[in-house]
Amino acid sequence: MRQQKLIPNPITDPIITPITINKEKFMQDQLQQLKEKLTEISNLSRAISLLGWDQQTYMPPAAAESRGNQLALLGKLAQEMSISPDFGKIVDKLKRYLPDLDPESDNARLISVSSKDYDKATRVPVDFVVEQAKVSALAQQAWVEARQKSDFLIFLPHLEKIVELRRRYASFFPEVDHPYDALLDDFEPGMKTSEVKTIFDDMRPKQVELIKAISKMPQVEDTFLHQAFDEKKQWDFGVEVITRFGYDWNRGRQDKAHHPFTTSFGLDDVRITTRVDPNFFNTMLFGTMHECGHALYGLGIRRSLDYSGLDGGASLAIHESQSRMWENLVGRSLPFWEFFYPRLQEIFPTQLGNISVNIFYNGINKVQPTYIRVEADEATYNMHIMLRLELEIAMIEGEVAIKDLPAIWNSRMEEYLGVTPPNDAQGVLQDIHWSFGGLGYFSTYALGNLISVQLWEKINQDIPDLSDQIRQGKFSNLLGWLVDHIHQHGRKFEPQELVQKVTGSTINSAPYLRYLNKKYNQIYNI
């Protein structure tokens, strides 16, 4: 309704002049033009996403090169649309109306987000975009080979170029406090390096302390998770769980992929992918709940934002807060298993018939420092992230020689987690992100964890019997809360603003540490 307040009412508002009317009409015309441009960009982006989805699910192996050519063309067209002078002119005209608009209205946000997007896109020279695409393509190939052979030297010259390009990218935004801010902003709009550092510096010693305390206690049993579980039965159980969560199969689907991901082709088509390990229970189910969390976010965005450019997530951290909430705060909780465990035992009587729900719950929450981030438990996960953030900032500051990364990595792993990777494949080479230039990305994973519990505390205030509802397999109030407070806003608010608005605090680690301590004190009898 807010948008309408600018339309003058000739009866109650007798001092309208033709100029006011024209001004309003002119703004609406420009807004219409902006939306048309954004709709084109949306449609093209969605087509690009489908090419990517297919590439990772069904594409025949030999088609990799031709798919790359298709993606390159569509990417070029999308880039041209995003930086077209026509688009810039419309945005510039609309910015003049910002003082007249409610700053929290959809239109005001649409104008400011579009303006920021346009400004960022046009600051980066087209040549640079092309060079970066080429360097990344080669770097990804080199990374695959380097990881296979566990030989960092194969990847080294590529990573050096990637870092050099990322530094150059940061230089297009000279106004930032720290060059890393420019990288972070692509994933966490408005977030500063100094903020993240402060949050992590506060959290690090406390999390290290918890991990040490756990390591002194007797280990929980989890061997029952490592046995043969029929793939189809695992899949079907996952489907049962996320159907109860509220995943709308009319607007989504689930397929297999080697590296699970969620992708949106608009508010009516948000798909998840999962992989299944026939000999380990956790991979499939927790992966499915995680991706479902992302998908529920995409499906919950307000329909009036569709095609507007605000129809995505607020940031990667906010997105991750949703996936981690469904995966961990819901899916690794005792109430959840009090409801689902009898069903799971029914499906896998041989494997789990003699395992009690409490033993099962402890097992899926086992804490054990490992080399590999994606396999890390809740207690140790953030340590992997903090290590990467420190290295990324040092790389961008030029404070570290890239060739020294493996040694620094290993010594920091020892310091934070008490383990030393046996080789670089399980150490510095384990993640794909740097190879595609994704510096600035990792911290969003840890921030997502923190935000998930900040929201969780608020939800439990608003829905005091949430645990009981979960114990009865009811998730509709939870999902409704998330839609109302988070999902529906799409990309309208920046992450810090959204967290502040919803929880009353900015992003911080206190709730997450409270949650971890409580959970693990109970499981490990600390």
Active site residues: 291
**What number of residues does the chain have?**
526
Radius of gyration over every alpha carbon of the chain, rounded to an integer in angstroms: 24
Q: What are phi and psi of 11, to 5 degrees?
A: -85, -50
Nearer CB in complex with a copy of itself: 59/357: 59
What does the angle CA 337 – CA 338 – CA 340 come to, to the nearest 5 degrees? 55
* DSSP, res 279: T
Query: Per-residue contact track with a copy of itself, 323 to 352, x per CB under 8 A?
Result: ------------------------------
Quick check: 15 binds a copy of itself (CB under 8 A)? no
Quick check: 36 binds a copy of itself (CB under 8 A)? no
User: Taken in order 488, 108, 90, 7, is the CA torsion positive or negative?
Assistant: positive
Nearer CB in complex with a copy of itself: 253/343: 253
Quick check: 140 binds a copy of itself (CB under 8 A)? no
Which of 43, 56, 282, 426 is the binder for a copy of itself (CB under 8 A)? 43
Residue type, 458: K
- With residue 419 as reference, give the H or E element that holds it: none
The footprint of a copy of itself on this chain (CB under 8 A) covers a number of residues equal to 38
Interface with a copy of itself by CB under 8 A: which range of 7-15, 60-68, 213-221, 326-334? 60-68
Please, where are the H alpha helices in 365-504? 378-397, 405-417, 443-462, 466-471, 476-485, 495-503
Quick check: 268 binds a copy of itself (CB under 8 A)? yes
Quick check: 92 binds a copy of itself (CB under 8 A)? no
* DSSP, res 370: -
Quick check: 161 binds a copy of itself (CB under 8 A)? no
CA pair distance 456, 299, nearest whole angstrom: 20
Quick check: 390 binds a copy of itself (CB under 8 A)? no
Q: Which residues of 187-197 are buried (b: 16+ CB within 10 A; e: fewer)?
A: bbbbbbbebbb
Distances 125 to 173, 185, 438 between C-alpha atoms, Å = 12, 18, 18
Interface with a copy of itself by CB under 8 A: which range of 45-53, 84-92, 367-375, 461-469? 45-53
Which of 3, 24, 77, 351 is the binder for a copy of itself (CB under 8 A)? 77
Which of 73, 153, 228, 526 is the binder for a copy of itself (CB under 8 A)? 73
Nearer CB in complex with a copy of itself: 75/157: 75
Which of 27, 31, 34, 44 is the binder for a copy of itself (CB under 8 A)? 44
CA 347 to chain CA centroid, nearest Å: 32
Q: How far is the CB of 491 from a copy of itself (least distance, A)?
A: 18
Nearer CB in complex with a copy of itself: 310/447: 310
CA pair distance 17, 14, nearest whole angstrom: 9
Quick check: 266 binds a copy of itself (CB under 8 A)? yes
Q: How far is the CB of 77 from a copy of itself (least distance, A)?
A: 7
Contact 389, 443 (CB under 8 A): yes
| Burial class of residue 325 in the structure, from the number of CB atoms within 10 Å of its CB (0-12 exposed, 13-18 middle, 19+ buried) | buried
- With residue 237 as reference, give the H or E element that holds it: helix 231-245
Which of 54, 236, 404, 414 is the binder for a copy of itself (CB under 8 A)? 54
Which residues is 254 bridged to in the sheet?
272
Quick check: 46 binds a copy of itself (CB under 8 A)? yes
255: helix, strand or coil: strand
User: 291: which residues sit within 8 A by CB, 6+ positions away?
Assistant: 254, 260, 261, 262, 272, 273, 274, 323
Quick check: 157 binds a copy of itself (CB under 8 A)? no
Nearer CB in complex with a copy of itself: 254/365: 254
Q: Which residues of 377-386 are buried (b: 16+ CB within 10 A; e: fewer)?
A: bbbbbbbbbb
Q: How far is the CB of 63 from a copy of itself (least distance, A)?
A: 4
CA pair distance 497, 170, nearest whole angstrom: 24
Nearer CB in complex with a copy of itself: 58/172: 58
Which of 4, 12, 17, 250 is the binder for a copy of itself (CB under 8 A)? 250
Quick check: 58 binds a copy of itself (CB under 8 A)? yes
Contact 348, 233 (CB under 8 A): yes
Nearer CB in complex with a copy of itself: 255/431: 255
Q: How far is the CB of 43 from a copy of itself (least distance, A)?
A: 4
Nearer CB in complex with a copy of itself: 65/399: 65
CA pair distance 512, 500, nearest whole angstrom: 16
Determine the longest span between alpha carbons in the chain, in angstroms.
Answer: 80
Which of 269, 320, 378, 494 is the binder for a copy of itself (CB under 8 A)? 269
Which of 7, 21, 63, 401 is the binder for a copy of itself (CB under 8 A)? 63
Nearer CB in complex with a copy of itself: 250/525: 250
What does the angle CA 374 – CA 133 – CA 55 come to, to the nearest 5 degrees? 55
Neighbours of 228 (CB within 10 A): 11
Quick check: 75 binds a copy of itself (CB under 8 A)? no
Quick check: 457 binds a copy of itself (CB under 8 A)? no
Q: How far is the CB of 59 from a copy of itself (least distance, A)?
A: 7
Nearer CB in complex with a copy of itself: 5/253: 253
Q: What are phi and psi of 175, to 5 degrees?
A: -80, -10
Quick check: 251 binds a copy of itself (CB under 8 A)? yes
Q: What is the contact surface with a copy of itself in residues (CB under 8 A)?
A: 39-40, 43-44, 46-47, 50-51, 54, 58-63, 65-67, 69-70, 72-74, 77, 248-253, 255, 265-269, 271, 307
